[in-house]
Amino acid sequence: MKNAAILVTALILTIFITACADSENSGSEDQAPPIPEVEVLLEQQPYPVNEPVDIRAEVTQGEEPVTDASYVKFEIWNTEEGQDNSVTKEAEHTEDGIYELSYTFEQDGSYQVIAHTQVDDLHTMPQKEVQVGQGQEGQAMDMESSKFMVHLMTEETFAAGSESMLTAHINHMEEPFTEGKVKYLITPEAGGEETEVTAEEKQPGEYQGSYTFEEAGNYTVTVVYEQEEKDLQGEKQQTIKVIE
């Protein structure tokens, strides 16, 4: 009887220890990965005009360099001309989490540079101001541009008749715009009624809404965002192409 009692006790302890280990492993597996950190690395300013320069970004996650980001894309525009006239170019990984783009500024002035960075399902988009040439150094940045940055993801293919996911990343004062009310207003350029789609915040500053485009063609998508309690609001319009 004594031996049987010892065996039962040992069995119970084994089951208990195994259950605890499984619980700890499950907890670590469910833990969300850290948000990637991106630093835009700028050389001594002002940059020259009409000469290629290197624009770089360092991407880390949990203090480790990210060498396989889904992409790092620099969006660049002249502050005075506004973001509607921006250009976006993809950078290449060189070493140790450094992503680099060779770019030529064609005129003097103040420029905005956003590093749109995607690591797995996580997106971040830090912004820096750049001075180019000698003529307009110290030019004040457009106040509205400094408040909100809106990036509607268009990397995926939008196909008619299939459910599409619309995703927008919104920053306010270079921080994720959280707990906002966001909707998409969708209008076919060929003519037709406007459709409203409510978006949900999936991650800080990331808002998603699903929609099925009935026909191929170009559509105007307006991202409308607001926070009533803080009296914050705005919108950004973009054209997307839907294929058959």
Please confirm whether the linkage preceding 46 is cis (ω < 30° from 0): yes
C-alpha to C-alpha distance for 98 and 117, rounded to whole angstroms: 12
pLDDT at 211 over 70: yes
Question: What integer pLDDT is reported at residue 138 of this predicted model?
Answer: 41
What are the phi and psi torsion angles at 80 (to 5°)?
-70, -35
> All domains of the chain, ordered by start, with CATH?
37-141 (2.60.40.1930), 150-243 (2.60.40.10)
Structure tokens at 199: 């978006």
Establish how many alpha carbons lie within 13 A of residue 24's alpha carbon, considering only the half-sphere containing its beta carbon.
6
Q: List beta partners, residue 132.
A: 47, 109
Question: What integer pLDDT is reported at residue 175 of this predicted model?
Answer: 84
Q: Read off the pLDDT of each residue in 220-229 and give the average, rounded to a whole number.
A: 92
pTM of the prediction? Answer: 0.64
Segment 38-92, tens digit of pLDDT:
999 988 789 999 999 999 999 999 889 999 999 999 999 998 888 888 899 999 9
Question: What integer pLDDT is reported at residue 3 of this predicted model?
Answer: 52
Q: Which of 125, 130, 122 is nearest to 74 (CA)?
A: 125
Q: Read off the pLDDT of each residue in 156-173 and give the average, rounded to a whole number.
A: 92
How does strand 148-152 pair with strand 158-159?
Answer: unpaired
C-alpha to C-alpha distance for 168 and 4, rounded to whole angstroms: 64
Question: What integer pLDDT is reported at residue 165 of this predicted model?
Answer: 95
Segment 100-148, tens digit of pLDDT:
999 999 999 999 999 999 999 888 898 888 999 975 444 444 444 457 8
Residues with Cβ within 8 Å of 40's Cβ and at least 6 positions away in sequence, in order, are: 55, 56, 57, 113, 115, 126, 127, 128
C-alpha to C-alpha distance for 153 and 181, rounded to whole angstroms: 18
Q: How confident is the model at residue 177 (pLDDT cuts 50, 70, 90)?
A: very high
